[in-house]
Amino acid sequence: MKILAVIPARGGSKGIPKKNIKLLGNKPLLQFTAEKALASKFLTQVILSTDSDEIAQVGKTIGLEVPFIRPQNLALDTTPTIEVLQHALKFYENQEVFFDAICILQPTTPFREEGVIDKAIEKFKTTNVDTLISVLEVPHQFNPHWTFEVDNQEHLKIATGDTQIIPRRQELPKTYYRDGSIYIIKTNLIKEGVLFKNSIGYIESNPKNNVNLDTMEDWILAEKIIYNL
């Protein structure tokens, strides 16, 4: 199976200015993801998709391939991820190069465990799902069976649609949320314009040292992890 890894890193970060190339510890944020991707045995090719010449130069310095500079209309706050992936696929298909799937590796989740990318790919292959994502378990107090929505009469109702609350924590089914570190999607779905459709597989990430960098508060947490504070 031919899998293209796309590391998306646009230049217009607002929450953390110049986030993707900002030094975390002694190396640019982008390098954490690049090192794990380049160490994979199962990724066919690893590329950086960016609109920024500065980020592209950093990417090349740390060993990433930068086959194109992404057009500005695909680097907006509102640009859907699917369009970034379609752009990469079209670039290669124009050169008669085809892939079975794309693996998205976002720089904003830098602390992936060793080998987790290949574990995810192995599971993706053996389970033959359309999409596989990395997840973390939802803490029991936020389990959807214990959360509420407001109905049109301004009354609370159980978010899952249950009529009775599950009384004991031990009876709650496990639920998960996307942690953002790994997405693997079959090419045919991307061409259809969707990331999720039918079968969705998952791999659990290690909650230790998990961080998703969006705000300066997140960055401070990542620095504490780096420096073991």
Q: Supply the pLDDT for residue 73.
A: 87
Rounded-to-integer distance, Cα 113 and Cα 130, Å:
24
Taking only the tens place, the pLDDT of each residue in 83-96 is 999 999 999 999 99
Written as one letter, the residue type at 148 is F
Strands (E), the chain: 3-8, 23-24, 27-28, 45-49, 101-104, 131-137, 148-150, 156-158, 176-186, 200-204
pLDDT above 70 (res 141): yes
Three-class secondary structure of residue 127 per DSSP: helix
Taking only the tens place, the pLDDT of each residue in 203-227 is 999 998 899 999 999 999 999 999 8
Q: Residue 229's pLDDT band (boundaries 50, 70, 90)? A: low
pLDDT above 80 (res 165): yes
Of 12, 80, 89, the closest CA to residue 45 belongs to 89
Taking only the tens place, the pLDDT of each residue in 104-130 is 999 999 999 999 999 999 999 999 999
Q: What is the mean pLDDT of the chain?
A: 94
Q: How many residues are present in the chain?
A: 229
* % of residues, the chain, pLDDT over 70: 100
Written as one letter, the residue type at 137 is E
* % of residues, the chain, pLDDT over 90: 90
Q: Supply the pLDDT for residue 14.
A: 81
pTM: 0.92
